[in-house]
Structure 1
Amino acid sequence: MNCRRLPGIRWALVALALVLVPAALPVRAQLLVRPVPVPAPVPVAPPLPVQSLAAAASSPTQLAAADKIDPALRDLMQANPQALLPVIVEMEHPVAPFVGAPNVDRALTALDLLRQSGISVAGLSLIDGAAGFANAAGINAVSLVPAVARIHHDATVGPQRSADPPVIAPPDQVSEVYPLVVNADQVWQQGTTGGGVTVAVLDSGVAADADLVQPANRILASVNFADQRLASDPGGHGTHIAGIIAGNGSRSGGEFVGIAPQANVVDVRVLGSTGSGRISSVIRGIEWVLAHRAAYNIRVINLSFGARANLSYRADPMAAAVEIAWRRGLVVVAASGNGGPARDTVVTPGTDPYAITVGATDDRGTLSRGDDMLAWFSGWGSADSNAKPDLVAPGRRLVSIRVPGSALDRLFPERVVVARNGSTYFRLTGTSMATAVVSGAAALLLARRPDLTPDQVKALLVGTTQPYGWDSGQVLPDPIADGSGLLDAYAAVNTAPPPAPSPVPGGILPGGLLPGMLGGLVPSAVQPLACANLALRPADGFARALFPVLYGSPLHWKDPTLGGIDWQTLTWDSVLWDSTAWDNFAWDSVLWDSVLWDSVLWDSVLWDSIAWDSVAWDSILWDSFTLD
C-alpha cells in the first residue's frame, strides 16, 4: 500500500517529535481451505418506504479535539506520555455530496495519519478507520485533524476475571447434559441438527478434532488474524467453543455432543495463545466474515470474549462492527462476561443492544432444571438503559473438545474428562461456554427456517425461554440478571416466527405515533411476538460509516478475492481485488440522536478491499479460567 501525503494535516503534525520503534512483522490472514458450494443466500429484511431525507441533511456536531480521545486512552497517555499505545482512529463522514470519499479512502486516510504520527498497523474500512500505535504527542496531533471523529484505546479482549469466590461443587460434577437441559435433543428427534448452517467462531482457533472433521470435515475455512503461530488452536479455547456449538461426539461414541452436531464451522482466529487479542483484530475478523458470508453460508457469529466496557456502546467501534454484521443478515451472539454477581459487569460487545447477549447458569450436572442456578460469575446490568443479558444458558463445567498440549490443557490438567470409551475431553466454565450453547441453538433454528432474519431469530430465542431454579432457593440480585430466562431450543424452533419488519401504511399508529418514529415498523402492540431490536439507536461508528449512502454514495469496503489464492503465500502488493454486490439489501430506519434516517434500499453496495497488515498483541494469562 503506497503512502500518500496529506497536505491538509501538515499543520497539525509540525511540532510532532516521535521516535518510532520498528513495526511488528506483518501477520497475514491465512486461508487454509477453499470455498465450497452452499445453499441459498441469506435473506434480508424487505424494503421499507423511503420518506424525506431532509432531516438527515445535517451531520453531528464536530467534537473538540480533547473530546475525541476516549477517557480510558487519556488516562494511559497521562500515566506514560512516551509509551506507544495501541489505538483505533475513526474518521468523520465527509460533507455531502461525498465526491471521491468512499469508506476505503477514509480508512486509508486514518492509516496515513497513524503512519505520520506513530505506527500504522491495519485499515478498518468497515468502520472508516485504522489501527496502530502512537504516543501521547502523536495521539494529540491526530485529534487536531478535523476529519477525525474518535480515537479509541485498542483494548485487549478476552474473558474477564471475577473477584468473588466460586460456589464449591463436587470434584466429579461435570455437565454433558446441557443439550438436554435446553431441549436440543428434542429438536434432533425432529430431524434438525444444524446441517447446512455455518457458525463463524471468532476465538483462539479451531483444531481439526474428529468431532468436527469426521465423517466429513465441517471446518469449512480457517483464517488467522492473531499471530504467526502455525498451531491451529494454541490456546484450546476456540476448539472447546466449536465443540459446544457443533461437536458430533465421534470420539466419545456420542457421549459428549454439541448443540447443533451437523452445523459447519468457520474458524476466524482473533485471539492469541494466551487468550487475548485486540478490538481491532475482532473488527477485522468480522469484516472477513462479512466478505465471505455467501461463500460459506455463514449465518451466525459467536463472540465468546469481551473487553471492559469503559464507554457507552454508542462510542464503541466493536459495537459498530457488530451492528453492521447484524444488519447484513448475521446473528451475532456475545458473552455477558464473567464479572458477576455485581451489577453493570457486562462486557463489550455484549453491551450492544442489537447482539444476543448470553449469561450463564449452573445446571449442576443434572437433567432437572429445578436445581439450576444463575452462575455466580454471570455478568449483568443495564448500561444505556438496555438490560443485559438477553437470556441465559448452561455455562458451568461444560465438557467439550480437548486440544492436547494447548495452553489451557497445560494450565489445567485436572480438567481433563475421560469418556466411557477412554477418549479424553475437557471441561471449562464461563459465559463463553453459555454463548456457544445459544449459537448452536441459533444454528438449529436457521437450519429449520433459513428465511429468518437476525431480528426474528433473536425474538424467538429470547421470547421462548423456560423457567428454572424453583428448587434451588436462589434469589436473583435483580430480575434482569438472567434476562428472559433459560434457553429452550425446542420451543424456539417450534414457535411460529414473528413477522418480518414490514412497511406501515400511511396514517397514525396506535398511541398517535407516526410511522417514521418507529422506523416504519409495526410496534409490538400491533403484532404478536414482534421482532427484536425495533427503533434502537445504533452505535456512532455504524452511523458514520453508513451516512453517505443516504445521499447515493456507494460503500467501498475492502477484502481480497480468495478464488484460487493461498493466503499463506499471498503477496499483498500485487493482489487483485474484487467487488461483491450486496444485492436486494434493505436497512431499517436508524434514529441517531435527533437525526431521523428514513429507510433506504441499498442495492449494489460494493466491497473493494483493504490489506490485512500487521497486528500486535498483549500477553496475558488465561485468568478467567480460574473459574470452575
Structure 2
Amino acid sequence: MSSAKGIRRAALAVGPVVALAVGTGCLPAAAAAAPQQPGPPVGVIVALDEGASVAGVETVVVRKGGTVERELPIVNGFAATVPRSAVASLRSMTGVRSVTPDGSGHLMAVDPVLGYDTAKDEGSLSFVRDVIHANDAWKAGYTGKGVDVALIDSGVAPVAGLTSGNVVNGPDLSFESQYADVRYRDTFGHGTHMASIIAGRDAAGTAASYTASTGYQGVAPDARIVSVKVAAADGSADVSQVIAGIGWVTQHAHDYGLNIKVLNLSYGTDSVQSSVLDPLSYAVEQAWRKGIVVVVAAGNDGTLRQELADPAVNPYVLAVGAEDPNRTIGSADDTVPLFAQRGTASRYVDVVAPGVHILGLRVPNSYVDQFNPLGRVGTRFIRGSGTSQATAVISGVAALVAQKYPTATPDQIKYLITAKAVPFPLAKKTWQGTGLVDVQKSLALRPADAPVQTYTAATGAGTLEGARGSDHVVIGGTALTGQKDIFGNTWTAAATWNGGAYNGASWTGTAFTGADWTAVKWTGADWTGSAWSSRSWVSRSWITSSWDSRSWVTGVWYSRSWVADSWSDASWS
C-alpha cells in the first residue's frame, strides 16, 4: 500500500486456520553431502510474492516428494509437508517470499471476559510482560506512577481500559481539530492501540493488584498518557504537524502539572535526508536534549528498505525494532520478522521488543477497525504487528525505569534499557541491536554507569520536503510540498511555540480546560490559499511508512503476522 504502488488487500482465508509466513526463523538446512537423503518430512508454510504462481510452486513440492495440505490465500501460499532436504531449494525459488515452520497446536483456555488466553496467546499483554519481565518491576513497586508519556499519534479514544484517569488530551494539531465531534478522538485507531500497550488498565490499582490480576494492563499501567493528536481518520498528517507536536511536548513537558519524561513516536517517513540536516530528526534530538526519552519505531518497510525510518535514524533516540517470541517466553528461538526495518551497519535498531500480533484496545468503527475485521478479538481488542507496537512496549519500559530513577537523563535511561538486553542467536546484531529488552536487568543497573552520547549535533538545516520523503497530504487535489507547513507558511527550523501560535499561525489554545487542551478556530489559509472549510483531507502515502502502517492494512495485519493459535474464538491452533 503506497501512493505509487497501489494497495493490495490480502485475501481472506476460509475457516479458522491462518498462517504465519513472517520472520527470520528457519528450518535446518539440508546436509551438504551428496547424494542427499530425503530426510524426515516437515510441515511448512510457503508464502509467495504478489503475482507469483501458487500452482507452479505446488507442482514443484509434489515433484520433490511433498504433499500440499491446504491452500492459504491470505498469504498467497499454502501449507505443505515436504522432505527436509527440499526446504532450501524451495526457499530459493523465484517468487517464494518465505518458507517457515508450520506451528504446532494446543488447546487454548480463553478468558471469557477478555476473549483470549492470557497465558498462551503470545499477543496478549500478559504474555508480552512475561517475555520482557515487566512483572518483576511491578513486584518491586514500579508501575510508571508519576511519569507522563507523550503520545504523538492519532489521538486516544475513551474506550474501556483507557478511562480510569490516566489519559489527558494535549493539543489536537490534526486536520480534525476544527470539528468538535472528532476533536481529540481517535478516528484512525492507531493511537488508542499504542496507548493501551503503554498504560492501559481496566481499573486503577496497586502494583500488587496488577500483578495478581487477570484483567487487561499495559506495560506501565500507572503511567499517564498525554495525547497529542496529529493524524486524522485516514492517518493523514504532515511532517510539519508532527514537528509542531514534538515542539509542544518539549516546551510544555513540565508545565500545568505535567511530568513528561517519555515521548512515543510510532511514526516514520522514508526520507533519505541526512539525520544531521533533517528537520524531523532535529526536532526529536531537541526533545532528547531537553530531558525527554524519545522512543521511535524503526519502520516496517524491511522487505524493501533496510535503512531506519526518519526520525529513528537519529543516533540519540531509542530506535526500536520488533521481534517474534515464537510462542515461547525464552529468547533462544526468537526471530526478527521480515516487515521490520533493521538498519545498516552505520545505524541500526538499539533494542527490540515483541511486535507480532499484539493485542491492544480496539476503537469500534475506526479506520483500522473497519478495514481489519479479522484482527478483532472478543469485543474490545484488535491485533497489530509492527515496530509501532514494539515501540509502545519500550515506552512503557521507559516509564517503569523513569519511575525508579526520576533524575536519570535520557542517555542514562537509554543505557539502562539497552545495556543488558538479551541477544538471541537467530538474528544479526544489525537486526536486533543489543537484543530483547529485559526489565529486570534494566532496573538492576546504575544510571551513573551510563556513557554520554557524543554524536554530531543535528542542525535541522535540511528541507521539510526532504523530511516528508514520499509522504504528502492532499486537499482539493493539491499536495502539500516544499517548505510550507499546513497553513502555507514558510517553515523554519527555528520555529517555536508562542502561546498557541507556532511558525506564525494560531494552531491551538493556550491552556488546559479540564482534561483537554483548548482548541481554536483555524482562520488562516491552508497551503492552497483556501479557508479551512471541509473534511477533505487525504494522504497520498501514509500507507507506506508513516505510522508504521504496513501493520494495519496490508497482509501483515492478518496474514503474515498471524499464527493459528491466535484464533481464540475457535480455541484451537
- In structure 2, C-alpha distance between the alignment counterparts of 1:556 and 1:238, rounded to whole Å: 25
Q: How far does the alpha carbon of each residue in 1:576-615 deviate from its partner, in whole angstroms, 9 at most, with x for none?
A: xxxxxxxxxxxxxxxxxxxxxxxxxxxxxxxxxxxxx979
- Partner secondary structure for residue 348 of structure 2: coil
- In structure 2, C-alpha distance between the alignment counterparts of 1:243 and 1:184, rounded to whole Å: 15
Q: Equivalent of 1:241, from 163, 174, 194?
A: 194
Indicate yes or no: 2:245 matched with 1:285.
yes
Indicate yes or no: 2:299 matched with 1:351.
no
User: Contact conserved, 2:266 with 2:296, CA < 8 A, in 1?
Assistant: yes
Determine the structure 1 residue equivalent to 2:169: 221
Indicate yes or no: 2:389 matched with 1:433.
yes
Q: How far does the alpha carbon of each residue in 1:470-499 deviate from its partner, in whole angstroms, 9 at most, with x for none?
A: 5xxx3x3x43211111111121122111x3
After TM superposition, give the deviation of residue 346 of structure 1 in Å: 1.2
- Partner secondary structure for residue 460 of structure 2: helix
Alignment of structure 1 residues 149-228 onto 2, 5 Å: 174-176=122-124, 177-214=127-164, 217-228=165-176
Tell me which amino acid in the other structure corresponds to 1:540.
Answer: T
- In structure 2, C-alpha distance between the alignment counterparts of 1:617 and 1:299, rounded to whole Å: 33
Tell me which amino acid in the other structure corresponds to 1:539.
Answer: A
Tell me which amino acid in the other structure corresponds to 1:541.
Answer: G
Q: 1:312 to 1:208 in 2, by over 3 A?
A: same
After TM superposition, give the deviation of residue 271 of structure 1 in Å: 1.7
Alignment of structure 1 residues 305-316 onto 2, 5 Å: 305-316=267-278
Determine the structure 1 residue equivalent to 2:458: 539
Tell me which amino acid in the other structure corresponds to 2:252.
Answer: H
Determine the structure 1 residue equivalent to 2:498: 558
Indicate yes or no: 2:294 matched with 1:336.
no
After TM superposition, give the deviation of residue 166 of structure 1 in Å: 9.5
Structure-2-length-normalised TM-score: 0.60
Alignment of structure 1 residues 123-142 onto 2, 5 Å: none
Q: 1:405 to 1:368 in 2, by over 3 A?
A: same
After TM superposition, give the deviation of residue 209 of structure 1 in Å: 2.3
Q: 1:539 to 1:175 in 2, by over 3 A?
A: same
Determine the structure 2 residue equivalent to 1:487: 437
- Partner secondary structure for residue 373 of structure 1: coil
Determine the structure 1 residue equivalent to 2:228: 268
- In structure 2, C-alpha distance between the alignment counterparts of 1:224 and 1:165, rounded to whole Å: 42
Q: How far does the alpha carbon of each residue in 1:82-110 deviate from its partner, in whole angstroms, 9 at most, with x for none?
A: xxxxxxxxxxxxxxxxxxxxxxxxxxxxx
Does 202-211 or 350-359 show the bigger shift?
Answer: 202-211
After TM superposition, give the deviation of residue 564 of structure 1 in Å: 6.1
User: Contact conserved, 2:251 with 2:497, CA < 8 A, in 1?
Assistant: no
Q: 1:539 to 1:571 in 2, by over 3 A?
A: same
Q: 1:210 to 1:270 in 2, by over 3 A?
A: same
- Partner secondary structure for residue 374 of structure 1: coil
Determine the structure 1 residue equivalent to 2:363: 403
Alignment of structure 1 residues 291-302 onto 2, 5 Å: 291-295=251-255, 296-302=258-264
Determine the structure 1 residue equivalent to 2:348: 388
User: Contact conserved, 1:403 with 1:409, CA < 8 A, in 2?
Assistant: yes
- Partner secondary structure for residue 175 of structure 2: coil
Tell me which amino acid in the other structure corresponds to 1:387.
Answer: R
User: Contact conserved, 2:511 with 2:517, CA < 8 A, in 1?
Assistant: no
- In structure 2, C-alpha distance between the alignment counterparts of 1:460 and 1:363, rounded to whole Å: 22
User: Contact conserved, 1:291 with 1:559, CA < 8 A, in 2?
Assistant: no
Q: Equivalent of 2:405, from 449, 455, 473?
A: 449
- Partner secondary structure for residue 240 of structure 1: helix
After TM superposition, give the deviation of residue 450 of structure 1 in Å: 0.5
- In structure 2, C-alpha distance between the alignment counterparts of 1:463 and 1:569, rounded to whole Å: 42
Determine the structure 2 residue equivalent to 1:96: none
Q: 1:262 to 1:568 in 2, by over 3 A?
A: closer
After TM superposition, give the deviation of residue 179 of structure 1 in Å: 1.1
- Partner secondary structure for residue 161 of structure 2: helix
User: Contact conserved, 1:362 with 1:372, CA < 8 A, in 2?
Assistant: yes
- In structure 2, C-alpha distance between the alignment counterparts of 1:320 and 1:300, rounded to whole Å: 17
- In structure 1, C-alpha distance between the alignment counterparts of 2:146 and 2:520, rounded to whole Å: 30
Q: How far does the alpha carbon of each residue in 1:407-448 deviate from its partner, in whole angstroms, 9 at most, with x for none?
A: 111111111112xxxx52111000000001110000000011
Q: How far does the alpha carbon of each residue in 1:517-559 deviate from its partner, in whole angstroms, 9 at most, with x for none?
A: xxxxxxxxxxx5423x2x2112222799xxxxxxxxx996423
Q: 1:562 to 1:164 in 2, by over 3 A?
A: farther
Residue ranges of structure 1 left out of the alignment (5+ in a row): 1-75, 77-162, 500-527, 545-553, 574-612
Indicate yes or no: 2:539 matched with 1:618.
yes
Determine the structure 2 residue equivalent to 1:530: 451
- Partner secondary structure for residue 390 of structure 2: helix
Residue ranges of structure 2 left out of the alignment (5+ in a row): 5-95, 109-120, 205-209, 464-493, 501-508, 524-530, 544-548, 562-573
- Partner secondary structure for residue 287 of structure 1: helix
Q: How far does the alpha carbon of each residue in 1:3-33 deviate from its partner, in whole angstroms, 9 at most, with x for none?
A: xxxxxxxxxxxxxxxxxxxxxxxxxxxxxxx
Q: How far does the alpha carbon of each residue in 1:43-66 deviate from its partner, in whole angstroms, 9 at most, with x for none?
A: xxxxxxxxxxxxxxxxxxxxxxxx
After TM superposition, give the deviation of residue 236 of structure 1 in Å: 0.8
Tell me which amino acid in the other structure corresponds to 2:409.
Answer: T
Does 535-544 or 300-309 show the bigger shift?
Answer: 535-544
Q: 1:434 to 1:294 in 2, by over 3 A?
A: same
Q: 1:225 to 1:461 in 2, by over 3 A?
A: same
Alignment of structure 1 residues 26-37 onto 2, 5 Å: none
- In structure 1, C-alpha distance between the alignment counterparts of 2:99 and 2:272, rounded to whole Å: 26
After TM superposition, give the deviation of residue 624 of structure 1 in Å: 4.0
User: Contact conserved, 1:339 with 1:345, CA < 8 A, in 2?
Assistant: no
- In structure 2, C-alpha distance between the alignment counterparts of 1:317 and 1:302, rounded to whole Å: 18
Tell me which amino acid in the other structure corresponds to 1:347.
Answer: A
Tell me which amino acid in the other structure corresponds to 1:289.
Answer: V
Tell me which amino acid in the other structure corresponds to 2:429.
Answer: P
- In structure 1, C-alpha distance between the alignment counterparts of 2:334 and 2:193, rounded to whole Å: 22
Alignment of structure 1 residues 455-604 onto 2, 5 Å: 455-468=411-424, 474=426, 476=427, 478-497=428-447, 499=448, 528-531=449-452, 533=453, 535-541=454-460, 557-560=497-500, 562-563=510-511, 570=520
User: Contact conserved, 1:302 with 1:439, CA < 8 A, in 2?
Assistant: yes
- In structure 2, C-alpha distance between the alignment counterparts of 1:461 and 1:569, rounded to whole Å: 37
User: RMSD across aligned C-alpha pairs, in angstroms?
Assistant: 3.1
- In structure 2, C-alpha distance between the alignment counterparts of 1:333 and 1:167, rounded to whole Å: 31
- In structure 1, C-alpha distance between the alignment counterparts of 2:392 and 2:439, rounded to whole Å: 13
Tell me which amino acid in the other structure corresponds to 1:492.
Answer: S
Structure-1-length-normalised TM-score: 0.55
Q: Report the number of matched residues.
A: 375
